[in-house]
């Protein structure tokens, strides 16, 4: 029996069953059938909308994850470049003592004779880096001398950080003179026993 014959058989049975029903029952059955059909279509539409919303949510989440991953990759690249520059600065200045560097910088801005002292206060090792804290004292500086010196050491590329600067001002013979006290952290790469760094 082919499909057409089966469909015709089912259609005839439905027609026989409907002809046996009263007018009121037939209307009720047709109404319920229409209600069930509309409910099935509405349910299908609702399910499709929920499926599309779920897919859109997944797409938005994946787009956000992609943006985050891209941003992290860019930050990683920038950090690698910064780390390379720091490693080069450490390597370039590994044989230079901070005291000698500060004396040279003071002479280059014309205040070498007013550098009173430079002394190491403490040394600590943090991972691959050795941090030494130095105190430097200057006297009889003008504000321009002090700012020129600070600019010179900050822009030199020497691996250091000025942690604090204290300016004490005195008037002497009508001129303002500054006594400058600096706390400076200098950094070096830690050399391991096998001769390599870190």
Spatial separation of the C-alpha atoms in residues 191 and 159, rounded to whole Å: 16
Spatial separation of the C-alpha atoms in residues 156 and 59, rounded to whole Å: 49
Kindly report the pTM of this predicted structure.
0.56
Q: Classify 118 as helix, strand or coil.
A: strand
Q: Residue 177 burial by CB count (10 A; 0-12/13-18/19+): exposed, middle or buried?
A: middle
Q: Is the pLDDT of residue 83 over 70?
A: yes
Sheet with 129-141, side-by-side order of all strands:
115-126, 129-141, 175-189, 160-172
Task: Give me the phi and psi of 172, to 5 degrees please.
Answer: -135, 115
Q: Which of the four pLDDT bands, split at 50, 70 and 90, describes residue 21?
A: confident
Q: Is the pLDDT of residue 192 over 70?
A: no
Give the model confidence (pLDDT) of 111-127 as tens digits.
888 889 889 888 888 88
Q: Is the pLDDT of residue 195 over 60?
A: no
């Amino acid at each position: 029996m082919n499909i057409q014959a089966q469909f015709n058989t089912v259609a005839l049975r439905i027609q026989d069953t409907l002809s046996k029903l009263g007018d009121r029952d037939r209307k009720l059955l047709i109404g319920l059938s229409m209600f069930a059909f509309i409910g099935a279509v509405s349910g299908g539409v609702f399910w499709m909308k929920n499926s599309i919303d779920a897919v859109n949510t997944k797409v938005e989440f994946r787009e956000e994850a992609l943006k985050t991953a891209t941003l992290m990759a860019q930050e990683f690249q920038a950090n690698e470049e910064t780390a390379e520059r720091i490693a080069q600065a450490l390597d370039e200045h590994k044989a230079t003592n901070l005291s000698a560097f500060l004396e040279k910088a003071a002479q280059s801005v014309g205040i070498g004779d007013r550098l009173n002292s430079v002394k190491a206060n403490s040394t600590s090792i943090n991972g691959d880096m050795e941090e030494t804290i130095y105190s430097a004292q200057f006297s009889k500086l003008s504000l321009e001398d002090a700012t020129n010196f600070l600019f010179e050491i900050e822009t030199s590329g020497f691996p250091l950080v000025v942690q604090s600067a204290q300016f004490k001002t005195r008037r002497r013979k009508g001129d303002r003179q500054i006594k400058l006290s600096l706390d400076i952290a200098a950094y070096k790469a830690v050399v391991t026993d096998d001769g390599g760094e870190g």
